[in-house]
Structure 1
Amino acid sequence: MADSHEIKAARRDLGRRLAQLRKAAGHTQHSFARLVQYGRSSVANTETGHQYLDRAFWTRSDTILQERRAQRRLRPRLLVSSGWPPGLRASNQKIYAGTARHP
């Protein structure tokens, strides 16, 4: 099981990756927030690792970023396995491993 320091570090890494992908897609935090149907401050706090949003946020984010990449044809479309984009999957696995409840 991951300790709280590892979880915080994974959340920061995940947030940084989201910010990189969002910027590469040409979105501001404000425009991206409207698309994912969350507040701008939620996007900002998630990108800095201060807030961790639910799976719906990450699913919407992945969909939007995939669509934008396909439109711009900058690089290959993200491959999604188990519901997470490759760049975000490892960080999410660390986070969920640390928060999973065991009977």
Structure 2
Amino acid sequence: MRQPCVASRRMGTLYIGVTSDLVRRLHQHRDGSGSDFVKTYGVHLLVRYELFSDMPAAIAREKQLKRWHRDWKINLIESNNPDWHDLAPTLGLEPLRQRARKDGP
């Protein structure tokens, strides 16, 4: 399955990408070997993903989502995940440890 996914910090930077192996990609993002964008912006939570049977359909959806306004993307995420829970544990990954914020606890 091809999987466009949206990863984010709650109400922070949104990242949309396509992968043929979502679990592997999540491991890469978490260990720092993922994309430069993810390394720069610290986007580690998986808050939404969609499954497609072929890559052209997944890529078309990725392009569509990238053209959307931010509010539309937030509404899409919150339609199924209103509290922005990390969905990675539902795919068998360990939950992320809470990271200390730079501006306080």
- TM-score strictly above 0.5: no
TM-score of the superposition, structure 2-length normalised?
Answer: 0.27
More helix by share: 1
Could you say which structure has the greater relative contact order, defined with CA pairs below 8 angstroms and 6 or more residues apart?
1
